[in-house]
Copies of this chain bind each other. A is one copy, B any other.
């Protein structure tokens, strides 16, 4: 059972689950609740305000978490990839939408079993806590980006993040999301994102067609991205 999360969490969640699995009975019960589900690209399959009955892991595909303002402005809180887990909430209802960026295969679990899981599998709750904490750290970095970085820095940071998350060995990144999605994630417009891509290409930092990017000069890009102080 794939419980994991952004990047490094993968290495944390799996051992916990594996350990849990060994203990047979309660986990077997839990496993029965597994439900694999496919979702077409573009579908909003989880709505803000809905009772938070399930949480999910991504078997295949890319998800985006979306918040909307009443006048239609859109903010993307984050992108999620294979192995990531989401749908937890302190509240009884979701507080964002989740959309399928690509066709999805998800597993979903009833949240009401969480409490039982916690007591049945000591260590489970710690794993979840670590997961959420990491999520928060990522959110904080993103706040710095949104509050203080220029358009160029935002796009550069985004590409480096993507490369780190889903970059392939040969250096290419497949972009599952549209320019509009990138813009809503970075607090920019599609036009600005597009223009920055053009500049980065012209300056030799990246090679890119529409849905693929290769970072050809990591240092230059990292320079552009503007790191945090230490």
Q: Which among A13-21, A33-41, A126-134, A210-218 touches the partner chain?
A: A126-134
**Contacting A229 at CB < 8 Å: which of B1, B69, B132, B133?**
B69
The reply to whether A226 and B140 form a contact with Cβ atoms under 8 Å apart is no
Which residues of A, 43-59, contact B by the 8 Å Cβ criterion?
Answer: 48-49
Instruction: Check: A228 CB closer than 8 A to any chain B CB.
Output: yes
Contact mask for chain A residues 204-230; partner B; CB cutoff 8 A; 1 contact, 0 none: 000000000000000000000011111
Closest to A48 in B: B230
Q: Known A-B contacts: A90-B130, A136-B136. Give 17 more (CB < 8 A).
A: A1-B133, A48-B228, A68-B228, A68-B229, A69-B149, A69-B228, A70-B229, A73-B148, A75-B148, A88-B133, A91-B137, A95-B140, A96-B140, A128-B129, A132-B132, A146-B187, A147-B186
Interface centre among A48, A90, A134, A186, by most chain B C-beta atoms within 10 angstroms, is A90
The reply to whether A67 and B129 form a contact with Cβ atoms under 8 Å apart is no
Name 11 interchain pairs, CB-CB below 8 A, sorted by A: A48-B230, A67-B144, A67-B228, A71-B226, A77-B144, A96-B140, A118-B126, A129-B129, A143-B146, A147-B186, A147-B187
Specify which chain B residues have a CB less than 8 angstroms from the CB of A187 in the assembled complex: 146-148
Closest to A68 in B: B229
The reply to whether B143 and A136 form a contact with Cβ atoms under 8 Å apart is no
**Contacting A137 at CB < 8 Å: which of B1, B128, B144?**
B1
Given contacts A95-B140, A140-B139, A142-B143, contact A90 B230 (CB under 8 A): no
6 pairs of A and B residues whose beta carbons are closest in the complex = A147-B187, A90-B133, A146-B146, A68-B229, A139-B139, A75-B144
